[in-house]
Amino acid sequence: MSTTIRFPILDRLLFASPGPPGEVPNEVRRRGSSSACPSPSHINTISKTPSVCCADTSPGGPGEASLSTRTPPPAVYSPRSTLDARPEHSADSPVSIHAMTVAYARKPVLWDVDYDAPSNALIAIVGPNGAGKSTMIKACLGLIPRAAGTVEFWGQSYKQARSRIGYVPQRESVDWDFPVSALDVVCMGRYRKIGWCRPVTKFHKLAAMEALERVGMADFAKRQISQLSGGQQQRVFLARALTQEADLYFMDEPFAGVDAATERAIIDVLRELRTNGKTVIVVHHDLQTVPEYFDHVLLLNMRIVASGPVGEVFTADNLQKTYGGRLTLLAEAAEAVARAAKGN
Amino acid sequence: MIPELIQTFLTLDLFPLLGAIFASLSCGLLGNFLVLRKQSLMGDAISHAVLPGLVLAFLITQDRSPIHMFIGAAVSALVTVILVEVIKRLGKVEPGAAMGVVFSVLFALGVFLLENANARGVDLDANCVLHGNLQILFWTTSPTEWSHFLSENIRSEVPRQIWTLLATTIAVIIFITVFFKELRIASFDAGIATVQGINAGVMHMALMTFVAIAAVASFEAVGSILVIAMLICPAATARLLTDRLITQILVSAIIALLTAIGGYALASWMGVNAAGMMASTAGAILVVVMIGSPSHGVIAKARNQRKLGNLVALEDILGALYRLAETEEHTTREQLIATLGSSKRTHKAIDRALTHKLIKVVNTQLQLTQTGLAQGAGIIRKHRQWEGYLVEQVGISPDHVHETAEQLEHLIDPDLPNQHTDPHGKPIPPKNS
C-alpha cells in the first residue's frame, strides 16, 4: 500500500521528465551566450547557482592551452532532438547531461545533474565513496535507467551516437577467471564493427593487437586473463576501449590499484587520445594527480558541486564542499525517500 | 546378414545409446555458459521444475502426446526463470537460494500432482522422472540385413524421442556456433556487451530458453538426474583442462560423448540404470580431472608448490653463502644446514647446487662458484631492495622487514634503480653482477 504514496515535490524532483522549454526557470536560461555571463560563470558551485549547474560549454578548446582564450559558444545551434530549446547546452559538447536523476530501488544516488563536457579534454570525475561517480557514467551509457533527465552526445541520442562512445568499466566488474585470452577481450571492443553472428576476422585481431601494443601489452596477448596482474588487466580493458576507435571515452577508475608502469601507460594513452581530438571522462580517486593528469574536473557528491577547468575549480574550498560532509542532509533525504518508497 | 551380436546391439542398445548421446551433447554444450555465468543451478532448477508442467499438461489434455507434454514443460521452465528473478528481487536473496526455493517447491508440486494423477489410474511414473526410461527405446523390428538400412521405412521405426533429441542437439550446436561471440561477451561482461549493441539480457533469455528446450527434450528419455549432471559436469571438467572458451566447448562435447558411451557401457555390464550410471561417470571424470589436470589439477598444483619450495631452498643457500662471502667467511655443510634449518629439502638443495656447479667444496668449506656468486648477488639484491622499499616507501621499521623481504625475494623482483645500500647499511649488489 505504501508504494502508492506520492510525494509531489520529491517525485517531480526525482522522477519527472524535464518539462517543456516554456517552463524552464530563468536561471537555467541565463546562458544564452557567454558574453552574458560574468567571466567565472562557467564555473558553478552549489552556493552560487543552486538550481542548475551548467559547466563550461565552449567547443573544441585543445586542452589546457586554450583555457584562457576560450571561444564563445556558436550562436547557431545544430538541430537537437530534445535539448535544442535549451541554450545552456551546446550541440558541440561530446556529452550534455540535463537534469539527470538516478535512483537505485527508489533511493536517489544522483540528484539533478546538469553538465556539458568540453570536447577534446581529459575530464576527471572526483568525489567521495558513494558520490555516484560510476552511477553517472553508467546512467549516461544507459546501463542503468535514469529516473529523470536527458543525455545527449554531440546533440544526438545515445543510440545514434554509440559507435562513437567507448567505455572502460571497473576492473572488479568481471570474472577474471573467464576462459579468454587478453586478445579475446580486446577483440570484444570491435564486436559492434564486426556485427552480429560474424566471426572475429584477422583484420579485427590485427586491430586488437595494435591496441594491445599501444598499452604495452602485446607480449601478453595469448595469456589467459587471470594470469595477468591487476595493472595488466586494466591495460587490457583500456586496449579494448581503444580498439573501439571512439571519440568519447568513459573510464571507471582506470587508475585504481595499478602499478606505476600501468599508471604511466594509461596517462600516456589518455594524452595521446587528447592529441587526437578525443574526449575522455575518467572517474578518478587520487586527488593528488588531478592537476597533473586532467584539464577539467567535475566534483561530485550526489550532485555536481563544481565543474570546470582544473586550475579554477580544483580549489580547497570546493574540495571541502565535496568531501566536507555538508551534503549529509542530502544523503539522509535520499535514505528517507527510499524508505518511504519501500514502505518501511 | 548381420551377426547376432550386432543385431542384439541394434535391438536393445542403439536407440538408448543415441538418446543418451544426444541428451548429453545438448545439455553438455549449453552447460558451458551456465557454469561460466555461475548459474549452474539454473539447469537443476529448470529440469526439476518442468515436472508440474508435464503433469498439468497431461491432466488438462488427458493424453500423453509429445507436443502437449513439451508445451507444458516449456511453460514451467519459463515460469521457473521468471519466478527466480522475482524472488531474487523481492525476497532479496542470492540467486542460488532463489533457484533452490523455486525448483524444490515446483518439483514437490509436480510429485504431489503426479500422485494424485496416479491415484486416478494414470500411468505417469515418479521413478521415470528421475532416471528417465532409456531402456524402453528398444528397436523391436531391428533389421536382420545390412541392406535394410537403406530402405525407406527405416525412418519411421526410429522412436520419436530420438528425433526430438537429434533436432535439439542440432539446434543447440547451431545456436552456440552462430552466437558464439555474442554468448561469450554477454557472459563475460554484460556492460560492454550492451555498449557494443549486444543486449546481455536478451542473450540471457535466449540461453535460458535453449536450456529449457534441451532439459525438456532430454527429460523424458534420460530423466532429471542426467540432465543436471550433464549441464554441469562436462563444462566444469573442460574448464579444468583449458583456458580458452572455444577449446573448453569442444572438450566438453568430447567429455559428454565419453560420459554417455562409457556410462552406458558400464550400466549394461553391471546391469544397472543407464542414466544413473552416466551421471556417476560424469562425476567420476570430473574428480579424475580435478586431481590430474595438467594446469589446474591437485597434482599439478602440488608439483608447482614443490618446485617453488626447492627453488626457495636453493636460493636461500646461495643467499646465505653470498652473505658470508661478503665478509670473506666460510662455512661447512653442517654449519650451513644448522643455520638454514635441517630439512630434507635443504640437503637436496645443497646437492643440487653442487651438481650444477653453483657451489664447490674447498677444504670442507662451501664456497660459491663464479655462477653461484652471480646468482647469489641477484637474490641478495632483491632482498635488500625489498627491505629498502618496505622501509622507505611503506614505512615499516627496519627491524621488521627482514622476514617479509625473505619471502618476497623469491617471488618478485622489485627492480628499483639507484639504490646502493639497504636500510641496515649493507651494500646492494649492482644489477647483473
Task: Using CA coordinates, name the residue in chain B closest to A159.
Answer: B197
Residues within 8 A of B (CB atoms), A 220-249 only: 224, 226, 240
The average pLDDT across A60-67 equals 38
Closest CA to B231 of B247, B213, B205: B213
Q: Which pLDDT does position A327 carry in this prediction?
A: 58
Closest CA–CA distance from residue A178 to any residue of chain B (Å): 7
The average pLDDT across B261-285 equals 92
Q: Which pLDDT does position A189 carry in this prediction?
A: 94
* From A30-34, A274-278, A313-317, B132-136, the region with the lowest mean pLDDT: A30-34
Mutate to test the interface with B, among A106, A162, A184, A225 (most CBs of B within 10 A): A184
Q: Which pLDDT does position A29 carry in this prediction?
A: 36
Task: Using CA coordinates, name the residue in chain B closest to A240.
Answer: B192
The average pLDDT across A315-333 equals 78
Per-residue pLDDT tens over the stretch B83-138: 888 898 888 888 888 988 998 999 899 888 888 876 565 555 666 667 777 777 77
Q: Do A196 and B182 touch (CB under 8 A)?
A: yes
* From A58-62, A109-113, B225-229, B394-398, the region with the lowest mean pLDDT: A58-62
Contact list in B for residue A194 (CB cut-off 8 A) is: 181
Largest CA distance in chain A: 60
Q: Does B382 touch chain A (CB under 8 A)?
A: no
User: Is the separation of the CB atoms in B40 and B31 below 8 Å?
Assistant: yes
Kindly indicate the confidence band of residue B71, based on its pLDDT and cuts at 50, 70 and 90: confident
Q: Using CB atoms, which residue from B191, B245, B248 is nearest to A173?
A: B191
Question: Count of alpha carbons within 13 Å of A2, Cβ hemisphere only?
Answer: 9
Residue A11 has pLDDT above 80, yes or no: no
Kindly indicate the confidence band of residue B415, based on its pLDDT and cuts at 50, 70 and 90: confident
Kindly indicate the confidence band of residue A87, based on its pLDDT and cuts at 50, 70 and 90: low
Helix (H, G, I), strand (E, B) or coil at B294: coil
Q: Using CB atoms, which residue from B192, B239, B248 is nearest to A188?
A: B192
Cα distance between residue A147 and residue A12, in whole Å: 10
Contact list in A for residue B197 (CB cut-off 8 A) is: 162, 191-192
Q: Does B174 touch chain A (CB under 8 A)?
A: no
Kindly indicate the confidence band of residue B223, based on its pLDDT and cuts at 50, 70 and 90: confident
Q: Which pLDDT does position A13 carry in this prediction?
A: 47
Q: Using CB atoms, which residue from B189, B195, B248 is nearest to A141?
A: B195
Top-confidence residue, B61 or A81:
B61
Write down the pTM of the prediction.
0.80
Q: Which pLDDT does position B125 carry in this prediction?
A: 63
Cα distance between residue A247 and residue A92, in whole Å: 12
Contact list in A for residue B189 (CB cut-off 8 A) is: 169, 173-174, 188
Rounded mean pLDDT of chain B?
87
Q: Do B188 and A198 touch (CB under 8 A)?
A: no
Closest CA–CA distance from residue B327 to any residue of chain A (Å): 36
Cα distance between residue A302 and residue A138, in whole Å: 14
Cα distance between residue B424 and residue A124, in whole Å: 42
Q: Does B411 touch chain A (CB under 8 A)?
A: no
Q: Does B362 touch chain A (CB under 8 A)?
A: no
Contact list in B for residue A224 (CB cut-off 8 A) is: 243-244
DSSP B169-202: HHHHHHHHHHTHHHHHHHHH-HHHHHHTT--HHH
Q: Using CB atoms, which residue from A174, A192, A226 is nearest to B188?
A: A174
Cα distance between residue B353 and residue B95, in whole Å: 54
Q: How far is CA B416 from the centre of its chain?
A: 40
Q: Using CB atoms, which residue from A162, A179, A200 is nearest to B245?
A: A179
Residue A254 has pLDDT above 50, yes or no: yes
Residue A162 has pLDDT above 90, yes or no: no
Q: Which pLDDT does position A53 carry in this prediction?
A: 36
- Listed in sequence order, the residues at least 6 apart from A114 whose beta carbon sits closer than 8 Å to its beta carbon are A52, A53, A54, A55, A88, A97, A98, A99, A100, A304
Q: Do B191 and A138 touch (CB under 8 A)?
A: yes
Helix (H, G, I), strand (E, B) or coil at A229: coil
Residue A49 has pLDDT above 80, yes or no: no
Mutate to test the interface with A, among B38, B174, B195 (most CBs of A within 10 A): B195
Largest CA distance in chain B: 98
Chains A and B form CB pairs within 8 A to the count of 80
Kindly indicate the confidence band of residue B155, based on its pLDDT and cuts at 50, 70 and 90: confident
Contact list in A for residue B179 (CB cut-off 8 A) is: 197
Measured CA distances, A11 to A107, A330, B135, B328 (Å): 12, 15, 64, 82
Q: How far is CA B204 from the centre of its chain?
A: 21
Write out the three cell numbers for A150: 536527458
The CA-based angle A10-A15-A16, given to 5 degrees, is 95
Rounded mean pLDDT of chain A?
78
Kindly indicate the confidence band of residue B327, based on its pLDDT and cuts at 50, 70 and 90: confident
Q: Which pLDDT does position B120 carry in this prediction?
A: 60
Cα distance between residue B88 and residue B100, in whole Å: 11
Per-residue pLDDT tens over the stretch B361-388: 988 888 899 999 999 999 999 999 889 8
* Long-range pairs of A73-76 with CB within 8 A, sequence gap ≥ 24: A73/A33, A73/A34, A75/A33
Q: Using CB atoms, which residue from B180, B196, B243 is nearest to A179?
A: B243
Residues paired with residue B158 on neighbouring β-strands, in sequence order: none
Contact list in B for residue A175 (CB cut-off 8 A) is: 36, 38, 188
Q: Do B36 and A138 touch (CB under 8 A)?
A: no
Q: Does B188 touch chain A (CB under 8 A)?
A: yes
Q: Which pLDDT does position A67 carry in this prediction?
A: 38
**Domains (range + CATH), chain B:** 4-292 (1.10.3470.10), 300-408 (1.10.10.10)
Q: Which pLDDT does position A78 carry in this prediction?
A: 44
Q: How far is CA A113 from the centre of its chain?
A: 11
